Amino acid sequence: MVDFAVIGAGIVGSAIAWELSKYEADVVVLEKENDIALGATRANSGIIHAGYDPEPGTLAARYNVPGARMIPEIAADLDVHFRQTGSLVLAFSDRETQGLHALLARGQKNGVPGLQILSAEATRALEPRLSERVTASLYAPTAGIVNPWELALAFMETAIKNGVRLLLDAAVTGIGKEEDHYRLRTADGREVSTRFVINAAGAYADEVSALAAGKLFSITPTKGEYFLFDKSAGETVDRVIFCVPDELGKGVIIAPTVHGNLIVGPDAEPVADKDDTATDGARLAYVRSRALQVIPSLPFNDNIRNFAGLRAAADTDDFVIGFQAPGFFNVAGIKSPGLTAAPAIADDIPRRFAAAGYPLNRKAYWQGKRRIVRIRELPAEEKAAAIRANPAYGHIICRCETISEGEILDACRRGMKPVSLDGIKRRTGAGMGRCQGGFCGAGIVAILAGETGIDPLRICQDKAGSRLFAGRTKSAGGTDD
Amino acid sequence: MTETDLVIIGAGPAGMAAALAARARGVGRILVLERNGFYGGILNQCIHNGFGLHYFGEELTGPEYAERFSTELASAAVDVHLDTMVLSVSPDRQVEYIGPKTGYQVVSAKAVILATGCRERTRGQISIPGTRPAGVLTAGAAQRYVNLDGYQIGRRIIVLGSGDIGLIMARRLTLEGAEVVAVVELMPYSSGLTRNIRQCLDDFDIPLLLSHTITEIRGKHRVEQVTVAAVDADRKPLPGSETRFDVDTVLLSVGLIPENELAKGAGIELDPVTGGPIVSDRMETSVPGIFACGNAVQVHDLVDYVSAEGRRAGDHAADLLLNEPAAKEDLISLTATGDITYVVPQQIRQSSLSAGIDIFLRVKRPLPGGGVITVCADGTPILRFRRKHLNPGEMERLTLPHQVMSQQTAASFSISVEAP
Ligand SMILES: Cc1cc2nc3c(=O)[nH]c(=O)nc-3n(C[C@H](O)[C@H](O)[C@H](O)COP(=O)(O)OP(=O)(O)OC[C@H]3O[C@@H](n4cnc5c(N)ncnc54)[C@H](O)[C@@H]3O)c2cc1C
Ligand SMILES: Cc1cc2nc3c(=O)[nH]c(=O)nc-3n(C[C@H](O)[C@H](O)[C@H](O)COP(=O)(O)OP(=O)(O)OC[C@H]3O[C@@H](n4cnc5c(N)ncnc54)[C@H](O)[C@@H]3O)c2cc1C
């Protein structure tokens, strides 16, 4: 019997696992995929929102500003890329300028520090590539950018280091209520008995909730599609650029990423299938045309990747956070700004449980610091020293991003064993660059096979089933079938 | 920081030829840095025949061709570090590199030759919508998996783009027992060599769909289906022309781009059309003391020309190092116009005119009836070359003869092509 079972390992489940690992409690995380952070957490804008967007009084408003305040310190402790870039919301007409004042007022109510309306000139002085049609902007100094899956991985690795257990390929398909505990069953027949359940199953949180009770809320996904540009376009803007919503919708975001790329998107399209992350030519064309209105010189030739993510909004129109039954706690419908809010939500959980009569005790010893060797980011002398100490840091596997064998081995040895090329990519950046893994794929397959003992023929690109290879070639001893 | 005379980056055919040429001319300290664990660059994965007809007068495989040079290089007085990656080159020729054996180093060089080859365009660069399953890869990546690592990359395959690597892989995969259902090409003509269309597609009954493209890729975990559509004259898909193919693999052969990151970092001026550095007839870049050659300058289809270009870079680097520095002189520009896509070199030294000059160019569209290539000096025609057929997929080499060139006093040259 464990104390907590967290269902789902996106940013929310991972942040909760990290928070709970500070307490004397047995914690298990169940995740249905072969790795963590494969839901909304891996396909979003990666922005730490300052907090002027959510309606005052909502849960989204309550957790946004504190989340944004916590992230810089957490990123430093966990060695996660984060940059406090600030953001600008642009107006393109007098009416939209009024919209900025409404946002300013809302932001002030939500407690967002440092908000300021800027003139057209001041705006373009900050971001000279913006269209000359800009009439004014709202500047928010506390907004920033983060790599969302990196943050989730850092939370989970730190949680594991502090005693949390993670079960992968563990889709929860049944929940039974016993006298004083719950019994969770996974699709592959494993069982976990637990005093408390925390449902952080993202787009599927409505279904997980329904396994334990009747349907309390339902989630309809809204898809958003993106372009990701090569680093050569990374300095197009220094800050996160938003637009005031107009009759066509919210307008797209143009933002630098922490890795020096440029991200452009998303649009918004309600979809039926909770796994439908396909991109569509017409949708991408729309994103492109909206973005060109904001920055006419955007170099779409430098696009290296398109992708789509699913926002999991509940029909309650707000985050769903709280007990649905004694011991069963939902953290569901975590739409944007969920990435920003996650640490603040997690931080609140022990208090919520204490208030419900389940107090938790802090551990006397908790290891909260995480350090990662990243060869390309080290100053010359430290590079030299790192390679002297471990020559594998001098063996570059991913040429586009300068990622060494040593870094890939480290990633395999931090508590979770990645089983796919994309698992390595998310942990190290290898394969993220211009060639998108064309050069380093084979090298990474060899390292992964060596570290995990998995037959290279079974190594996947990404989720289970995304096999890379169909077999061996004839010359390598394969047969026709 | 250590010092050396010449650093050559890349030990593919271009870099190896450059090193041997510079050594033969008597350059003392030469350091070759190669990030692979072997010599020969891209040649190692090209196990098909077709290399060296011009250079050695016989048909070799890629690895055989590479070996002729690497054996010579191994016994020459040249330092070679394999598994060693160059991270940056500064405008004053400090070369920063790392490797498991060398560690982290910075070497200051009197001259540098960039011979870093090219890379492939990927799915993102052409933005094919749909899902992002496994089984979408570039033809060169497939070639590495199949030829170097012995993996079968799929069973039913469609190829997008008719570049040479795609054509060669269509044949290779067919021989491996896979079914290649089609090669799909956006343009109304192939960008591959005619001999490759014949030997790799026609001989195996693989259809080549010209003026078609892939408009969507579908599949949950692995590719399951692609949609192919015909395109109009503006290369826009024609609604209603879609066909679906059930395949598990999409190979992309949609173009190669010079590997130009180091050049950019050194502040070298690039040609927006070739994607490589602008070079003079001596393979000098815009930064003094830095030369470039091979696929790093322009994507070649014949290795023989790559070797020749490498040798030229090595020779001229040796000139710079061993002789009195050449007097400052004006560079005469050579510009592609009309139906010529690009020309290399883009600049000619005044003093080179007396020696005659080799130039390379590609045309923008096929001229099946052939064409006349005209070189003008300040707008006045000075030379004409007749070609029986001209194709964007086949690079043309011309020699501008010294008898004519040495007479020239023009400030600029241009080059154009007309159907006869
Ligand atoms: C297009 C888009 C842009 C966004 N931009 C931003 C932004 O810029 N800033 C910001 O703050 N927020 C942003 N968000 C919101 C943010 O991404 C989400 O709020 C956040 O990722 C939600 O995290 P999660 O952990 O709740 O969900 P997820 O990341 O989806 O995680 C849920 C996990 O539960 C697992 N799971 C599901 N069912 C089961 C089961 N039965 N058993 C076991 N495991 C299960 C899933 O596999 C998944 O790993 C954006 C969202 C989208 C879609
Ligand atoms: C798939 C394919 C098939 C071909 N088929 C034929 C054919 O049939 N017949 C024919 O005649 N020609 C063919 N060619 C053309 C010809 O072989 C190539 O153009 C030629 O090999 C290019 O030589 P290179 O030295 O310029 O580049 P490469 O061979 O690519 O060598 C560049 C080298 O530089 C190294 N390098 C790059 N960056 C760095 C760095 N930062 N630090 C250290 N090292 C670095 C690379 O690792 C590589 O080894 C083919 C080309 C390709 C790509």
What range defines the domain where residue A56 resides?
1-82+143-218+315-371
Using the predicted structure, report yes or no on whether residue A206 has a pLDDT greater than 80.
yes
Using the predicted structure, report yes or no on whether residue B209 has a pLDDT greater than 90.
yes
Same domain for B135 and B43, yes or no, is no
Same domain for A91 and A37, yes or no, is no
Q: What is the 3-state secondary structure (H, E, C) of chain A?
A: CEEEEEECCCHHHHHHHHHHCCECCCEEEECCCCCCCCCHHHCCCCEECCCCCCCCCCHHHHHHHHHHHHHHHHHHHHCCCEECCCEEEEECCHHHHHHHHHHHHHHHHCCCCCCEEEEHHHHHHHCCCCCCCCCEEEEECCCEEECHHHHHHHHHHHHHHCCCEEECCCCEEEEEECCCCEEEEECCCCEEEEEEEEECCHHHHHHHHHHHCCCCCCEEEEEEEEEEECHHHCCCCCCEEEECCECCECCCEEEECCCCCEEEECCCEECCCCCCCCECHHHHHHHHHHHHHHCCCCCHHHEEEEEEEEEEEECCCCCEEEEEECCEEEEECCCCCHHHHHHHHHHHHHHHHHHCCCCCCECCCCCCCCCCCCHHHCCHHHHHHHHHHCHHHHCEEECCCCEEHHHHHHHHCCCCCCCEHHHHHHHHCCCCCCCCCCCCHHHHHHHHHHHHCCCHHHCECCCCCCECCCEECHHHCCCCC
Point out the ligand 2 atom lying closest to the alpha carbon of residue B39.
49
Using the predicted structure, report yes or no on whether residue A251 has a pLDDT greater than 70.
yes
Same domain for B12 and B101, yes or no, is yes
- In this structure, what token pair is assigned to residue A360? 């938790």
What pLDDT band is residue A65 in, cutting at 50, 70 and 90? very high
Same domain for A356 and A210, yes or no, is yes
Using the predicted structure, report yes or no on whether residue A289 has a pLDDT greater than 50.
yes
- Whether residue A475 lies inside any domain: the answer is no
- Weakest mean pLDDT among A69-78, A239-248, A315-324, B195-204: A239-248
CB A380 within 8 A of CB A50: no
d(Cα A81, Cα A74) in Å, to the nearest integer?
10
Same domain for A237 and A295, yes or no, is yes
Same domain for A69 and A176, yes or no, is yes
Per-residue pLDDT tens over the stretch A95-147: 999 999 999 999 999 999 999 999 999 999 999 999 999 999 999 999 999 99
Cβ contact, residue pair B220, A388, below 8 Å: no
- Whether residue A477 lies inside any domain: the answer is no
Judged by DSSP in three states, B91 sits in coil
Residue B78 exposure: Cα atoms within 13 Å on the Cβ side: 33
Domain end call among B326, B347, B377 = B326
CATH code, domain carrying B357:
2.60.40
- In this structure, what token pair is assigned to residue B390? 């001209």
Same domain for B92 and B18, yes or no, is yes
Instruction: Please tell me the distance in Å from B93's CA to the nearest CA on chain A.
Output: 17
pLDDT at B301: 87
Per-residue pLDDT tens over the stretch A30-63: 999 999 999 999 999 999 999 999 999 999 999 9
Same domain for B215 and B105, yes or no, is no
Cβ contact, residue pair B130, A278, below 8 Å: yes
Write the ipTM.
0.90
- Whether residue A426 lies inside any domain: the answer is yes
Instruction: Please tell me the distance in Å from A303's CA to the nearest CA on chain B.
Output: 5
Same domain for A271 and A128, yes or no, is yes
Closest CA to A144 of A67, A79, A234, A48: A48
Using the predicted structure, report yes or no on whether residue B325 has a pLDDT greater than 80.
no
Considering only the beta carbons, identify the residue of B122, B155, B177 that sits closest to A304: B122
Q: Output the CA angle A294-A298-A303, nearest 5 degrees.
A: 130
Residue nearest to atom 31 of ligand 2 (CA): B12
Per-residue pLDDT tens over the stretch B80-130: 999 999 999 999 999 999 999 999 999 999 999 999 999 998 877 777 889
Instruction: Please tell me the distance in Å from B402's CA to the nearest CA on chain A.
Output: 41
- Whether residue A478 lies inside any domain: the answer is no
CB A409 within 8 A of CB A372: no
Same domain for B232 and B265, yes or no, is no
CATH code, domain carrying A5:
3.50.50.60
Considering only the beta carbons, identify the residue of A281, A456, A465 that sits closest to B221: A465
CB B98 within 8 A of CB A394: yes
Q: What is the pTM of this model?
A: 0.93
Please count the other Cβ atoms lying within 10 Å of the Cβ belonging to residue A331: 30
Domain end call among B292, B326, B360 = B326
Same domain for A108 and A153, yes or no, is no
Cβ contact, residue pair A279, B220, below 8 Å: no
Average pLDDT over residues B347-369: 93
Closest chain A residue to B139, measured at CA: A438
Partners of residue A384 in chain B, C-beta under 8 Å: 103-104
Dihedral sign for Cα A467, A469, A470, A476, please.
Answer: negative
Same domain for A323 and A391, yes or no, is no
H or E stretch at B360: strand B357-363
CB B86 within 8 A of CB B34: no
Partners of residue A472 in chain B, C-beta under 8 Å: 150-152
- Weakest mean pLDDT among A6-20, A348-362, A383-397, B326-340: B326-340
Same domain for B311 and B346, yes or no, is no
Examine the residue annotation and report whether A81 is marked as an active-site residue of this protein.
no
d(Cα A283, Cα A307) in Å, to the nearest integer?
11
Mutation choice for ligand 1 from A30, A41, A147, A329, CB with most ligand atoms inside 8 A: A41
Number of domains, chain B: 3
| Centroid of ligand 2 to alpha carbon of A68 (angstroms) | 48
Residues lining ligand 1, judged by CB closer than 6 Å?
Answer: A 7-13, 30-33, 38-41, 44-47, 49, 171-172, 200-204, 208, 224, 266, 309-311, 334-340
Cβ contact, residue pair A480, B177, below 8 Å: yes
d(Cα B77, Cα B119) in Å, to the nearest integer?
30
What range defines the domain where residue B35 resides?
1-120+256-326
Q: Is A389 on the interface with B (CB under 8 A)?
A: no
Per-residue pLDDT tens over the stretch A373-391: 999 999 999 999 999 999 9
Q: What is the identity of the amino acid at A449?
A: A
CB A350 within 8 A of CB A24: no
CB-based contacts of B168, cutoff 8 Å, min separation 6: B46, B48, B139, B143, B196, B200
What pLDDT band is residue A246 in, cutting at 50, 70 and 90? confident
Same domain for A292 and A225, yes or no, is yes
Partners of residue A279 in chain B, C-beta under 8 Å: 129-132
Q: What is the identity of the amino acid at A30?
A: L
Cα of first residue to Cα of last residue in chain A, in angstroms, is 47
Same domain for A263 and A385, yes or no, is no
Cβ contact, residue pair A375, B155, below 8 Å: no
Q: What is the 3-state secondary structure (H, E, C) of A340-380?
A: HHHHHHHHHHHHHHHHCCCCCCECCCCCCCCCCCCHHHCCH
Question: What percent of chain A has a predicted confidence (pLDDT) above 90?
Answer: 91
pLDDT at A477: 80
Per-residue pLDDT tens over the stretch B45-86: 888 888 988 888 899 999 999 999 999 999 999 999 999 999
d(Cα A289, Cα A293) in Å, to the nearest integer?
7
Domain end call among B229, B254, B279 = B254
Per-residue pLDDT tens over the stretch A165-197: 999 999 999 999 999 999 999 999 999 999 999
Partners of residue B153 in chain A, C-beta under 8 Å: 468-470
Using the predicted structure, report yes or no on whether residue B142 has a pLDDT greater than 70.
yes
CB B70 within 8 A of CB B17: no
Same domain for A227 and A304, yes or no, is yes
- Whether residue A23 lies inside any domain: the answer is yes
Judged by DSSP in three states, B335 sits in strand
- Whether residue A480 lies inside any domain: the answer is no
Instruction: Please tell me the distance in Å from A45's CA to the nearest CA on chain B.
Output: 18
Q: Is A457 on the interface with B (CB under 8 A)?
A: yes
pLDDT at A323: 96
- In this structure, what token pair is assigned to residue B112? 């540098």
pLDDT at A479: 62
* Alpha-carbon separation of residue A104 from A110, A125, A135, B51, B128 (angstroms): 10, 21, 16, 67, 40
What pLDDT band is residue A481 in, cutting at 50, 70 and 90? very low
Partners of residue B137 in chain A, C-beta under 8 Å: 438, 441
Mean pLDDT of chain B: 94
Whether the link from the prior residue into A128 is cis, omega within 30° of 0, is: no
Closest ligand to residue A438's CA: 2
Same domain for A91 and A197, yes or no, is no
Q: What are φ and ψ of residue A123, in 5° steps?
A: -65, -45
Closest chain A residue to B218, measured at CA: A278
Spatial strand order of the sheet with B179-184 comes to B136-138, B249-252, B156-160, B179-184, B208-209
Classify residue B350 by its DSSP letter: G
What pLDDT band is residue B198 in, cutting at 50, 70 and 90? very high
What pLDDT band is residue B172 in, cutting at 50, 70 and 90? very high
CATH code, domain carrying B170:
3.50.50.60
Choose from A373, A469, A472, A474 for mutation: most chain B CBs within 10 A: A469
- Weakest mean pLDDT among A213-217, A255-259, A267-271: A213-217
CB B340 within 8 A of CB B363: yes
Same domain for B61 and B86, yes or no, is yes
CATH code, domain carrying A416:
1.10.10.1100
CB B305 within 8 A of CB B312: no
**Residue A476 vs residue B2, higher pLDDT:** B2
Partners of residue A394 in chain B, C-beta under 8 Å: 98-104
* Alpha-carbon separation of residue A86 from A49, A114, A135, A384 (angstroms): 9, 10, 19, 35
Same domain for B320 and B405, yes or no, is no
Average pLDDT over residues A418-424: 95
Closest CA to B147 of B256, B71, B48: B48
Same domain for B219 and B134, yes or no, is yes
Determine the angle formed by the axes of helices A405-412 and A441-452, rounding to 10 degrees.
40
Choose from A273, A396, A407 for mutation: most chain B CBs within 10 A: A396
pLDDT at A250: 74
Per-residue pLDDT tens over the stretch A299-319: 998 888 899 999 999 999 999
CB-based contacts of A239, cutoff 8 Å, min separation 6: A85, A86, A87, A88, A126, A127, A143, A255, A256
Q: Is A455 on the interface with B (CB under 8 A)?
A: no
pLDDT at A438: 81
Question: What are the start-end ranges of the H helices in B90-193?
Answer: 123-126, 139-143, 164-175
pLDDT at B121: 86
- Whether residue A59 lies inside any domain: the answer is yes
Closest CA to B155 of A466, A458, A470, A478: A470
Same domain for B99 and B127, yes or no, is no
Burial class (CB in 10 A: 0-12, 13-18, 19+), A275: middle
pLDDT at A249: 67
Interfacial A residues in 45-84 facing B (CB < 8 Å): none
Number of domains, chain A: 3
- Whether residue A449 lies inside any domain: the answer is yes
Classify residue B297 by its DSSP letter: T
Average pLDDT over residues A425-436: 88
Instruction: Please tell me the distance in Å from B222's CA to the nearest CA on chain A.
Output: 5
CB A91 within 8 A of CB A244: yes
Q: Which residue has the tokens 């990666």?
A: A46
Residue A339 exposure: Cα atoms within 13 Å on the Cβ side: 27
